[in-house]
Amino acid sequence: MAGVGARTAYPRLVPLSPDAFYAHALAAADAEQRLPLSRMTGWEISPFEQGGLTVAPLRPPVLPEPPRHGEDQADCGTCRRRDEGIWLDDRWRLSRVPGVGVPLALMLHPRDHHDLADLPDELAAELGVLTVHLARHIQALPDIARAHVYRIGDGGAHLHVWFFARPAGQSQLYGSWLVVWDDLLPEYPAEIADADAAVVARALAASYGGIARTGESAPTGEA
């Protein structure tokens, strides 16, 4: 059968340990541990031109990794903000992320302390529906082409899902460079972002349930 050979070969393979992964990467780097510019910087939408651009030396792995913010629930700042947001229901809350360059960035949190991988199935199902409704409402805003959705989770242990609104027609802001362009762009006018966030919050209350608290913007500061 097709594919059987590859599957039977897998048990003889061993995943790269952190040190082996580092050695594998360094094999492609120069004497200063700098990897060559490639791929994304060669993409025509890259925010950086390759001339003069230098790759940072690749540092060796650090193990164990330092704890993330809120790894201990007792110290979790996100839990302390469980009642804040522009939209809430019993289990979820939505905030606007201030100070961004894209027209709108929203963040969705479970009100209780969960990370993505330990989210109970009932909340996981709700997260799916909420993600779809939020993308729909963000993309219905004037001059917004796409809602990008990210869960990264390297900075904070309490699940937080990012929704970035990509401005229509700004074709260099396609794809995974968007967050870097966001960092380069000047801050989008806050009063317009607040108004757009309120539209999304009210639309979510209408389509999904929960309560929109328009006119409020909860500050967040997670990575």
Q: Which is nearer to Zn ion, 103 or 156 (CB)?
A: 156
Q: Which is nearer to Zn ion, 79 or 145 (CB)?
A: 79
Taking the least distance from each CB to Zn ion, the nearer of 78 and 182 is 78
Q: Which of 35, 40, 58, 79 binds Zn ion (CB under 5 A)?
A: 79
Q: Which residue is nearest to Zn ion (CB)?
A: 76
What does residue 94 show for φ and ψ, rounded to 5 degrees? -120, 135
| 123 part of the interface to Zn ion, by CB under 5 A | no
- Selected from 93, 109, 111, 113, the binder of Zn ion by CB under 5 A is 113
Q: Which stretch binds Zn ion (CB under 5 A): 85-93, 148-156, 157-165, 195-203?
A: 157-165
| Residue partners of 137: CB distance under 8 A and separation at least 6 | 199, 200, 203, 204, 207
For the CA atoms of 107, 112, 118, 123, the dihedral, rounded to the nearest 10 degrees, stands at -70
Q: Pick the binder of Zn ion from 93, 111, 158, 160 (CB under 5 A).
A: 158
Summarize as ranges the residues that interact with Zn ion (CB under 5 A).
Answer: 70, 76, 78-79, 113, 158
